[in-house]
Homo-oligomer: A and B are copies of this chain.
Amino acid sequence: MALRFALVIEPAASDDPRPSFADSFRVIDPSAPALSVGELSTQRGDGIFESIGVVDGHVQETQAHLERLAHSARICDLPGPNLEQWRQAIGVAARHAPATGEGVIKLILSRGVEHGPAPTAWVTVAPAPDNSAAREHGIRVVTLDRGYGIDTPARAPWLLLGAKTLSYAVNMAAIREAKRRGADDAIFVTSDGFVLEAPTASLILRIGGRFVTPAPHGGILHGTTQLSLFAHLEEQGHETGYEVVPTGALREADAAWLVSSVRLAAPITAIDGVEMPVDAELTASFNRYLLSARD
């Protein structure tokens, strides 16, 4: 969907305590030229981002997204974001999100212009695409090798595997490959046979009545939607767990979902061509919860 609002931020130091950062924001036309060709985000995908859901004007899970932005910055040796400044920018952006229905606010922190003095940062707002078909009828997925072993991320932090970087070309290529195979989305697996995540979503499996997600270990982005849904499931008395999930365990699951900030809970109807049962009622309850105002 076309962007409907954008705001450039002049990033403040992470420990700058000023009460209002309004003078560090500059509203721009989201379809007009705003970035120079020297931007490292565009030259090298050198930066980080977050996509945040907005429902009926309420920004979902702001704090969890801000914390993950700071986490990604640490992994990428970017200056720590001033979270209060970003929170205020999100507040301004939220006023331009759809007042009813769903939207998406994106935060972007780039390393800045090459040889320039400081990072570049901006926030965009767009209406969310209509995800009702994926939520109601589900998605077919294929497993794709992410190329590395389960122990690689801890051993090789320069691969930035736990950061949400702008270097997202592989994630997009994986989704194109899934579509070539007649599916809608992919699940990345390690080359030594463990389940990771989807290119733009987390995976939740129901196995023997428990809800399980692959344990974040540096190579998996800790999903804000997965975290929120697990808290909800625990409140409802369900058992949840972070586990090392062998690829074979996908066949043991009696239900599975890809969950993310904007598409929310999409039930998986087939993995690698093998049909999978869908719990329509539970999925609907997940999405009702995810569409309620969450902080």
Contact indicator B45/A36 (Cβ below 8 Å): no
Q: Which residues from chain B contact A242 at a C-beta distance below 8 Å?
A: none
CB-nearest residue of chain B relative to A29? Answer: B36
Asked whether A169 and B176 contact (CB < 8 A) given A30-B37, A42-B35, the answer is: no
Shortest distance from the beta carbon of A163 to any chain B beta carbon, whole Å:
8
In the assembled complex, the Cα of A156 lies from the Cα of B161 at a distance in Å of: 17
Instruction: Give the residues in chain B near A42, CB-CB below 8 Å.
Output: 35, 39, 41-42, 108, 110, 166
Query: Is there contact, CB below 8 Å, between A156 and B145?
Result: yes
Interface centre among A41, A47, A106 (most CB of B within 10 A): A41
Tell me whether A46 is interfacial, beta carbon within 8 Å.
Answer: yes
* Complex alpha-carbon distance, A233 and B83, angstroms: 56
Q: Residue of B at shortest CB range from A156?
A: B145
Query: Which of B30, B49, B149, B167 has a CB less than 8 Å from the CB of A170?
Result: B167
Inter-subunit contact A169/B45 (CB<8 Å)? yes
Is A77 a contact partner of B167 (Cβ separation < 8 A)? no
Q: Is the CB of B31 within 8 A of A34?
A: no
Copies of this protein in the assembly total 2
* A147-B167 contact given A34-B35, A35-B42, A115-B2, CB 8 Å threshold: no
Shortest Cβ distance from A168 into B: residue:
B44
Given contacts A108-B37, A168-B44, contact A144 B156 (CB under 8 A): yes
Asked if A38 is at the interface of the complex by the 8 Å CB criterion, the answer is yes
Q: A138-177 vs B: 1/0 string, CB under 8 Å?
A: 0000001111110010011111110001111111111011
Q: Given A45-B168, A45-B169, A166-B44, check contact A122 B37 (CB 8 Å).
A: yes
Docked pose: A148 CA to B110 CA in angstroms: 27
Q: Is A212 an interface residue (CB 8 A)?
A: no
Residue on B nearest A174 in the bound complex, by CB: B158
Chain B residues with Cβ below 8 Å from A106 are 43
Known contacts A110-B42, A166-B42: does B32 contact A34 (CB below 8 Å)?
no
Which of B49, B144, B191 sits near A43, CB closer than 8 Å? B49
Contact with B along A108-119 (1 / 0, CB 8 A): 101001010000
Name which residue of chain B comes closest to A148, CB basis: B147
Q: Select A177's contact among B37, B41, B108, B158, beta carbons within 8 Å.
A: B158
- Contacts A76-B169, A166-B45, A173-B77 known; A6 to B147 CB distance under 8 Å? no
Give residues in A with beta carbon < 8 Å to B. Answer: 1-3, 6, 28, 30-39, 41-47, 49, 76-77, 106, 108, 110, 113, 115, 122, 124, 144-149, 152, 155-161, 165-174, 176-177, 191
Cβ-closest 7 pairs across A and B: A45-B45, A167-B167, A44-B168, A167-B169, A147-B148, A42-B42, A33-B33
Q: List 19 A-B contacts (CB under 8 A).
A: A3-B38, A31-B38, A32-B33, A33-B35, A34-B36, A35-B37, A42-B166, A43-B168, A44-B167, A45-B45, A46-B168, A145-B155, A145-B156, A145-B159, A146-B156, A147-B156, A149-B191, A160-B169, A160-B173
